[in-house]
Amino acid sequence: MRISSLLVFCTLSLVLPVQSTAEPVAPSHLDRVLANKEVRVCIWPDYYSITYRNPKTQQLSGIDIDLAQELGKDLGVSVRFVDSSFAKLIEDVTQDRCDVAMFAIGVTPIRSKSLAFTHPHLASDIYAITSKANRHIKRWDDIDRKGSIVAVAKGDAA
């Protein structure tokens, strides 16, 4: 599967730091990636089928892992994966720990203040799960009630 670099940069859920126009022009992220012959890709390695590290083999797999590898091939550079998370995403990208982030990152107002997004390549609904034995939550509306406790990954809703 050969994907042009331009297409990849325009369609992945990549994020880059937002740059101020008042600063002197510095080399672009792409220029730095090409000069370093490496693209650093932030991932959350616990995101099954997206960016997942198998705990037994330590092998990475998932759609964004595959797309990152294709991006590296198209650019003629190696790919280095950098562990991140939703909670550390903005800091990791803006503090230059990675060139792009790829782990099915949703576009939110808070993230958009610091990060630039490409056009998404994945759409996902919100799902909630509970045990079959739960007597209190049987429908979606049961969650939005006083006393219901909902857990999410830190930084996931940011």
Confidence band, pLDDT 50/70/90 cuts, at residue 4:
very low
Residue 56 burial (CB count, 10 A): 6
Q: What range does the domain containing 14 cover?
A: 5-124
Q: Distance (Å, rounded) from C-alpha 58 to C-alpha 56?
A: 6
Q: Residue 21 above 90 pLDDT?
A: no
Q: What does the pLDDT read at residue 150?
A: 80
Does residue 104 lie in a domain region? yes
If one counts the domains in the chain, the total is 1
Question: Does 30 reside within a domain?
Answer: yes
Nearest to 151, CA basis, from 129, 123, 131: 129
**Domain annotation covers residue 142:** no
Q: What is the mean pLDDT of the chain?
A: 83
pTM, two decimal places: 0.71
Select the more confidently predicted residue: 96 or 22: 96
Lowest mean pLDDT among 3-12, 32-41, 132-141, 148-157: 3-12
The CATH number of whichever domain residue 54 belongs to comes to: 3.40.190.10
Q: What is the pLDDT of residues 62-93, one digit of tens each?
A: 999 999 999 999 999 999 999 999 999 999 99
Question: Which helix H or strand E contains 108, and what residues bound it?
Answer: none
Q: How many CB atoms lie within 10 A of CB 139?
A: 6
